[in-house]
Amino acid sequence: MLAYSIPHTGLAEAAETLAAPSGPVILKIDGDIAATNVGEEAHFDRAMLSELAQHDFTTGTPWTEGASHYQGPLMRTLLEHVGAEGETINVAALNGYEAEIPVADFYDYEVILALKRDDQTIPIREYGPLWVLYPFDHDEALLSERMRFRAVWQVMHINVR
């Protein structure tokens, strides 16, 4: 089994420069990270997440009708932004669901933290405001039950391990 860790991008030195959120916090990241803005955590509002390089794809999901166009930062970009060092993350949702995801997934697939579906913010009742989303239609391997359990919606917290 190969061990994956997030490439060191020099962000450890940027710990003091991670901007503070000016709007409502919609995501908290903690654990083995270098860049923080509230104690030992990185807090993000929607604007901060939107400022990261955005990636998009069109895919269907096991939970929605038809294919939709999704947009958000690649999960690997988000983790690199906070100087994450770890092999797994634990993602917690507003509804209490939690999933452990190997960081290797984010380098093997174009997994995004979806902020938008069809150019609209994603409402909580429709899997938002944040959704760890795999491009299901792009690779049959992503249609397994194991992979579906990693596509966490209503994301509120990420812990890097």
pTM of this structure: 0.91
77 forms beta bridges with none
Residue 98 has pLDDT above 60, yes or no: yes
In this prediction, residues 51-66 reach a mean pLDDT of 97
Q: Which CATH number, 3.90.420.10, 3.30.450.20, 3.90.650.10, 1.10.10.10, labels domain 31-160?
A: 3.90.420.10
Mean pLDDT of 65-81: 98
Domain layout of the chain by residue ranges: 31-160
- If one compares 56 and 9, the residue with the highest pLDDT of the two is 56
| Predicted local confidence at residue 147, as pLDDT | 96
Is 157 a residue whose pLDDT tops 70? yes
Mean pLDDT of all residues in 91-116: 98
Model confidence at 16: pLDDT above 70:
no
- Residue 141 predicted with pLDDT over 90: yes
* Residue 83, pLDDT above cutoff 50: yes
pLDDT confidence bin for 15, thresholds 50/70/90: very low
- What is the residue whose two structure tokens read 């995801």? 101
Q: Which amino acid is at 67?
A: A
